[in-house]
Structure 1
């Protein structure tokens, strides 16, 4: 049975530490944005999550905590987990400065799954989104980990960029496989915030770091949608929702993409549409 590749996770931890600093350099006074009632969430995830008041929610691969705090503001009791030291330090400080309580844990999620299950922690909701699945080295262990920390009747919600969109480079040239059991070693996390600008920073993009080049390599994994869904089903969860979307929320993958209402990036007229996002909701039997 395959096991999580913690050696590759360590490469990614270093790369995300560097990238997180660059990403946040473009986002200005985020604490003020949250204090004034701002939210970084999109309608798709809110619909799938449902009412949040009083729910115990774990945000897996939470990055620097902006979505975590948006969920907490809606009444959820949020725990955010991420492998990046820089991201978790920033999230904790943003929580304090914004006055929105949430707990943040720096851990490889596979280690966190084991520790949380051993401690008997259970959650009503588990959530993950936007560029999370490609960093998972073992989907089977991931699915089992989610099932292990959900309370009976609890649900896992994933809103994610589609593996089809990841097959193409910025100029719509095929460069990646749809799925591949082997990791792909690349240049490390880039500055997608600079590429997406107001799509990811609607309160006011700032130039910040320019010409960012990550000094650390990264390891990504090409998982198809069937791989993701199968891992959840084999872990004992029941699939409730699977959707595909022809747009990407906030993130500009292609130089020709056009941002339309709702900060959604579409391919232009004359370019065949491809799925750019998908969503899954799976529930643990009561």
Structure 2
């Protein structure tokens, strides 16, 4: 585990979160008017969550967490970014949607949660999350440790195969990459999404954002994700690959095929850009 790199990422995310939220308009008003930032794939994988306790890992600034709470779940969101959690708490208060938000490095949080015997019906994580984690086995073990028997983990993530390309669709990154990759910092991907990541109002906000803090990413293949969850004692129930990415215009020429689903240019063969899976903790698990 590389907590030193996690700490560098915390600083980078603090800076980037300010830029991201500057584009999103009146978010409290959006939620008060009944808005939701969830996509259909997330709701489909989660099923009916009314009355269930739900842990949202790497919840960012809380928009998806509050959307889940609006569906009736008792939501706890965890994120490493001070700025993200402070914003999420304000948004919860101003929107009138109750949820708990806790700032902590995820691995530290898992250790504390185990000591306090905290358990949840659902654990949820989505979009650009595991690339910030330096140890996938600790991640999977932490998830298994906070799931109630019969509980389920739901994961929606950008497909690692797509991440071998640069923005011009040229092969650039090694799929089998065992070392962290140093980057210039978390960028303003919300501005770069051209509205794809904004379900509500849009403000110009911060222009030409440059992050003063470098960041470090870890690349995990599909086999590594599934194997880590299985080693942690979880049973894979379902896995689906999608030829589009929800909200994210990560490459040149991506087009909205409806519902803010972004697909590659028409002249390209389809490749997986996103995947979803659910994994359950057996009821007789110790």
TM-score normalised by L of structure 2: 0.98
Deviations 1:13-32 (A, max 9, x none): 00000000000000010000
- The equivalent of 2:189 in structure 1 is 192
Q: Is residue 22–residue 205 contact of structure 2 (8 Å, CA) maintained in 1?
A: yes
Q: For residues 248 and 18 of structure 2, what CA distance do their matches in structure 1 show?
A: 18
Which of 123, 128, 131 is equivalent to 2:128? Answer: 131
Q: Report the Cα offset of residue 261 of structure 1.
A: 0.8
- The equivalent of 1:148 in structure 2 is 145
Q: For residues 13 and 254 of structure 2, what CA distance do their matches in structure 1 show?
A: 25
Matched ranges for 1:90-101 at <5 A: 90-101=87-98
- The equivalent of 1:104 in structure 2 is 101
- The equivalent of 2:223 in structure 1 is 226
TM-score normalised by L of structure 1: 0.98
- The SS at the match of 1:120 is coil
- The equivalent of 1:174 in structure 2 is 171
Segments of 5+ residues of structure 2 without an aligned counterpart are: none
- The SS at the match of 1:198 is coil
- The SS at the match of 2:194 is helix
Q: Report the Cα offset of residue 179 of structure 1.
A: 2.8
Segments of 5+ residues of structure 1 without an aligned counterpart are: none
Deviations 1:179-235 (A, max 9, x none): 312111111111110011321113232211111111111010010011011000000
RMSD, aligned CA: 0.8
- The equivalent of 1:237 in structure 2 is 234
Q: Is residue 197–residue 205 contact of structure 1 (8 Å, CA) maintained in 2?
A: no
- The equivalent of 2:263 in structure 1 is 266
- The equivalent of 1:118 in structure 2 is 115
- The equivalent of 1:38 in structure 2 is 35
- The equivalent of 1:52 in structure 2 is 49
Runs of 4+ residues deviating >4 angstroms: none
1:5 aligns with 2:14: no
- The SS at the match of 1:197 is coil
Q: Is residue 62–residue 82 contact of structure 1 (8 Å, CA) maintained in 2?
A: yes
- The SS at the match of 1:57 is strand
Q: Report the Cα offset of residue 174 of structure 1.
A: 1.7
Q: Report the Cα offset of residue 117 of structure 1.
A: 0.8
- The equivalent of 1:213 in structure 2 is 210
- The SS at the match of 1:33 is helix
Q: For residues 14 and 59 of structure 1, what CA distance do their matches in structure 2 show?
A: 21
Q: For residues 202 and 254 of structure 2, what CA distance do their matches in structure 1 show?
A: 18
Q: Report the Cα offset of residue 41 of structure 1.
A: 0.2
Q: For residues 225 and 135 of structure 1, what CA distance do their matches in structure 2 show?
A: 16
Q: For residues 98 and 201 of structure 2, what CA distance do their matches in structure 1 show?
A: 24
Deviations 1:149-183 (A, max 9, x none): 00000000000001112111111112211131211
Deviations 1:115-166 (A, max 9, x none): 0011010000000000001111000011100000000000000000011121
